[in-house]
Structure 1
Amino acid sequence: MIRPKHPRYERQLAFTLGELLLVLALLGTLVGLGTQPLLQMVTQHRQQAVLAQLRNTLQHARAQAVLGGDSVELCGSAQAEGCDDDWAAGWTLHRPAQNEVLLHHRLATREPLRWSGFARRVRFLPNGTSPTGNGRFYQCRSGKVAWQLVLNRQGRLKTTTPQENSAKAELCTPPTR
């Protein structure tokens, strides 16, 4: 007599606990190795977005000064009203003569924006020039300059090369005591 196979007696296929732990350890290692480059890429893209936004704002400020026939000022500010010269929080574009705010941009990045120039604020005259002299905006990443945006007296902008950024690494190192 042939007995029917009972499901309880059939051989079952499965993974052992040791095999599962090995696979989980390998997956954890691979995820750990891939996370750091991904975070660096996200940080780099955020900083490039800040560079593009700042460049657009500076070009807009210069155009507003020329087209409006009046001075326009860009300053660091956390709030839209007034200037506190805190470039790390964001910036405000306004016409000082009319006390009119043209634009306010709040930064969402953790890497602070820095300004190094003769004056704390950037002003454009009706002829498009900047009487405050040359200056540079920059952001740091891992103790090095990520990018620089140089503004000259004529109101023109220049993004620096990686070699120029490396030459200015001292901008991102904290002062020693």
Structure 2
Amino acid sequence: MKLVGVSGSMVGSKILESVYHFLNTAKAMDPNIKTELIDLKDEDIELFHGPSLSFYDQNTWDVIHKITSADFLVFATPIYQASFGGAFKNLLDYMPQNAFKGKVTGFITVGGSGKHALVGEYQLKPILAYLKGIVPNHNVFIHNTSFAEEGDLEDEKVIRRMEKLADEMITLQKGLNAGE
């Protein structure tokens, strides 16, 4: 099984650290899982403006292909102004309606206010479901204060929530794969 993690932020390191930590957690739970990290800071994805994917450059194609060919996915995004980031939204705009059919699609959100904890539930979950993703029950909100000065994730409660998310995603995806 291939798990792709997408860091949906163009600035800072907290989102990247969250995805990296999650991928390592999943790999520790099942060493047979292959992981890949896509960091939107390192990708030159064109701004989506409506036409089909064939009108965009090769790098954009490559990123979309990595995502759509994964067995399951975890997305991480910052919360700005009570909504998820624009770079991540731009990426989602490329996805065809059945992009995540048969794939577990978890998410991690990071924000500076506890009031943003439900943005994932009310905004991301419906989008992932529209794209036919199977959204687990255990998704993770991380407050900015959960990171050490160096950027490492240090909040034990958050780490346990990440473990629950990884366990649920692996279990769900294995169940889906067994039913094929």
Shorter chain as denominator, the TM-score bin is under 0.3
- Normalization by structure 2: what TM-score? 0.25
TM-score normalised by structure 1 residue count: 0.25
